[in-house]
């Protein structure tokens, strides 16, 4: 969406002639406006007006702004071979024309240079003021063989390179990294998914309604996550994201109107779980799944998502469930007010995502 900041996606490719290319896909207007990672939504930043004005500039005008900013951008990028930083020999920038202002315009900045002879490892770091980044290693044919999601200012773990410049990575490494990615997509990044899970939790103090709903949600999002990543189904984020927000409104409003599990609730949660799975798939499509480890990475990401959801439920139980759920005032003082807040937030997101 136009106002939601996403990480820079950098794809590093090693070429047969001993050179590398590093293609950064980024929101150039947000960088030029000085909107940092402390703002998840550009409309919340003081520089929102500047950002919106930059989005209206044609490519030639925006490129002139970029050329003045380029030294700062390049100074915030650290690419190291065997711990030694390298400077690119060439830089190219590709700015799309002004299009649908309901989605962000993504500029591609491509760096290129020679690989130092005998290099054994590669690391990447993006300056903290530029936000998060995702580092992907690709073969010349475009196949992604590794992908790391990095928080703001974090240097990547070394990409260990064999003589053919193909990273050596074990299945255990893949499973660990994608489990962490799935978990962090819920905590702390997935506030919409967190509110949906809390809406499920608040319906009833009994364990059976919670079990039925969580099971339905888990099965559903696992189905669409897998089908989407295998290319069998696809929906644009402009459709998926508003519907995810609307799902939050539904479960919260039903919590207010009913204090028990209705027969249709499980099927409704299942249907909304299908939408959330498409939302999860959007993250993995941007990052990419490593060739040869597609299924383990997919399973690991799903495991991380489930661990994140269980953490949310566990925290809710420890905070209010165990202590107050059997009190006669629990529904009136906890369930209904909390559900009302969740419904209002979901309604705001629904409108904001529809309007872009």
298 burial level (CB within 10 Å; 0-12, 13-18, 19+): buried
Q: How does pLDDT run across 295-343, given as a tens digit for each residue? A: 888 888 889 988 999 999 999 989 888 888 888 899 899 999 999 999 9
Residue 116: pLDDT band by 50, 70, 90 thresholds?
confident
* Rg for the chain, CA atoms, rounded: 22
pLDDT digits (tens, 9 = 90+) for 180-200: 888 988 888 888 899 999 999
Helix (H, G, I), strand (E, B) or coil at 138: strand
Instruction: Look at the pTM and tell me if it is higher than 0.75.
Output: no
Tell me the per-residue pLDDT of 2-22, one tens digit each, with 9 for 90 and over.
455 678 899 998 877 778 899
Q: How far is CA 229 from CA 38, 206, 232, 234, 282, in A?
A: 30, 35, 8, 9, 9
Boundaries of every domain in the chain: 8-169, 182-355
């Amino acid at each position: 969406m136009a106002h939601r900041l996403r990480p820079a996606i950098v794809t590093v490719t090693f070429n047969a002639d001993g050179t590398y290319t590093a293609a950064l896909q980024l929101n150039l207007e947000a960088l030029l406006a000085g909107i940092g990672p402390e703002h998840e939504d550009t409309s919340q930043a003081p520089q929102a007006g500047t950002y919106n004005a930059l989005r209206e500039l044609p490519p030639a005008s925006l490129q002139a702004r970029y050329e003045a900013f380029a030294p700062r951008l390049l100074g915030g990028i650290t690419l190291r071979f065997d711990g030694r930083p390298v400077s690119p020999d060439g830089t190219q920038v590709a700015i799309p024309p002004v299009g649908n202002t309901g989605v962000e315009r993504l500029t591609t900045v491509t760096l290129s240079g020679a690989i130092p002879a005998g290099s054994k490892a590669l690391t990447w770091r993006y300056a903290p003021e530029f936000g998060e980044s995702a580092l992907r290693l690709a073969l010349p044919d475009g196949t992604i063989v590794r992908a790391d999601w990095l928080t703001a200012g974090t240097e990547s773990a070394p990409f260990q390179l064999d003589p053919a410049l193909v990273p050596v990575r074990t299945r255990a490494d893949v499973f660990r990294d994608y489990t962490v990615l799935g978990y962090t997509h819920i905590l702390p990044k997935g506030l919409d998914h967190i509110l949906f899970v809390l809406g499920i939790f608040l319906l009833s103090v009994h364990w059976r309604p919670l079990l039925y709903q969580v099971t339905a949600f888990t099965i559903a999002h696992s189905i669409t996550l897998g089908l989407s990543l295998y290319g069998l189904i696809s929906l644009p984020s402009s459709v998926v994201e508003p519907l995810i927000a609307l799902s939050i409104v539904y479960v919260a409003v039903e919590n207010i109107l009913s204090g028990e599990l209705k027969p249709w609730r499980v099927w409704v949660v299942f249907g909304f779980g299908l939408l959330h799975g498409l939302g999860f798939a959007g993250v993995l499509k941007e990052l990419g799944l490593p060739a040869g480890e597609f299924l383990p990475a997919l399973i690991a990401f799903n495991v991380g998502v489930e661990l994140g959801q269980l953490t949310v439920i566990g925290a809710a139980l420890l905070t209010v469930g165990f202590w107050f759920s059997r009190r006669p005032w629990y529904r009136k003082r906890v369930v209904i007010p909390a559900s009302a807040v969740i419904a209002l937030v979901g309604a705001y997101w629904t409108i904001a995502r529809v309007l872009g």
